[in-house]
Amino acid sequence: KAGVTQTPRYLIKTRGQQVTLSCSPISGHRSVSWYQQTPGQGLQFLFEYFSETQRNKGNFPGRFSGRQFSNSRSEMNVSTLELGDSALYLCASSSPMRATVVSEQYFGPGTRLTVT
């Protein structure tokens, strides 16, 4: 089975721009979660989507948004980029039999975003 894939792997953007990241979950997984990882703050939960609905949300400003499509693929959007948004953005998918964010999650390799 193919793992979680994320595109692009690397991205450089300028302050004020917006960015869209993409995640394709493992086939059959309906839950997709997004995380931000930085050296200072560690891994922080952004939001989780299940069957095209946002089910859980972390403590991030409204500039961070996401969506999930009917094929479970998910996108994350960050508008009005700030320097502090530079991070590794990780996507994780979960098995449909354990449809909560607490379940075993399989992570993708991440998208490394640099904001200049």
Length of the chain: 116
* Smallest distance from other proteins to CB 55, Å: 7
Instruction: Determine the Cα–Cα distance for residues 21 and 112; give it in Å rounded to an integer.
Output: 10
Q: Please choose, from the candidates 113, 83, 115, 78, the residue with its C-alpha nearest in 3D space to the C-alpha of residue 6.
A: 113
Instruction: Determine the Cα–Cα distance for residues 9 and 22; give it in Å rounded to an integer.
Output: 10
Q: Using CB under 8 A, which residues numbered 38 to 97 contact other proteins?
A: 42-45, 48, 55-56, 58, 90, 92
Site string for other proteins, 13-42 (x = CB under 8 A): --------------------x-x------x
Q: Which is nearer to other proteins, 57 or 63 (CB)?
A: 57
Instruction: Determine the Cα–Cα distance for residues 105 and 72; give it in Å rounded to an integer.
Output: 15
- State the DSSP H helix or E strand holding residue 10, giving kind and residue range, or none if neither: strand 10-13
Our finding on whether 10 is near other proteins (CB under 8 A) is no
Residues in contact with other proteins by CB under 8 A are 4, 33, 35, 42-45, 48, 55-56, 58, 90, 92, 100-102, 104-110
